[in-house]
């Protein structure tokens, strides 16, 4: 039986995003839904790399998280929070922007919210 939060099935996504990317897709948009991030972990490779999460419309993405300054071989963990850490705009996808440095591995726990 799937795990649910607020009546929505909890889902998971992973991405390995190269350095110096703008609006690299993590979760594609879902019509008439917001993507609410309930938890996240990221780890940079051998070089320090900044990471910012964005809500992505058809144009440039808009930041919805602070800049995470991940040290070399270091990262961030946002533990599970039922209320969520950040949410995309309605019908928009979740993307990330990375700074110069190394590839960053990302895992996200989320729901498709109304």
What pLDDT, in 10s, does the model give residues 88-104? 999 999 999 999 999 99
Average pLDDT (15-39) is: 97
Composition of the chain by helix, strand, coil, percent to 5: 0, 55, 45
State the average pLDDT for the chain: 96
Structure-model confidence comparison of residues 6 and 52, the more confident one: 52
37 to 9, 48, 61, 78, 94: CA distances (angstroms): 13, 24, 16, 10, 9
Domain ranges of the chain: 4-113
Residue 2 is predicted with a pLDDT of: 81
Structural class in CATH, domain 4-113: mainly beta
HSE value, Cβ hemisphere, 13 Å, CA-based, for 105: 6
* pLDDT at residue 61 greater than cutoff 90: yes
> For position 6, what pLDDT does the model report?
82
């Amino acid at each position: 039986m799937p795990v649910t939060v607020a009546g929505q099935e909890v889902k998971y996504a992973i991405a390995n995003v190269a350095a110096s990317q703008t609006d690299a897709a993590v979760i594609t948009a879902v019509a008439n839904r917001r993507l609410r991030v309930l938890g996240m972990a990221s780890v940079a490779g051998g070089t320090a790399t900044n990471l910012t999460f964005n809500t992505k419309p058809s144009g440039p993405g808009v930041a919805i998280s602070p800049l995470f300054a991940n040290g070399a071989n270091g990262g961030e963990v946002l533990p599970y929070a039922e209320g969520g850490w950040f949410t995309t705009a309605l019908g928009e996808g979740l993307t990330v922007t990375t700074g110069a440095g190394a590839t960053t591995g990302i895992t996200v726990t989320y729901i498709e919210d109304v």
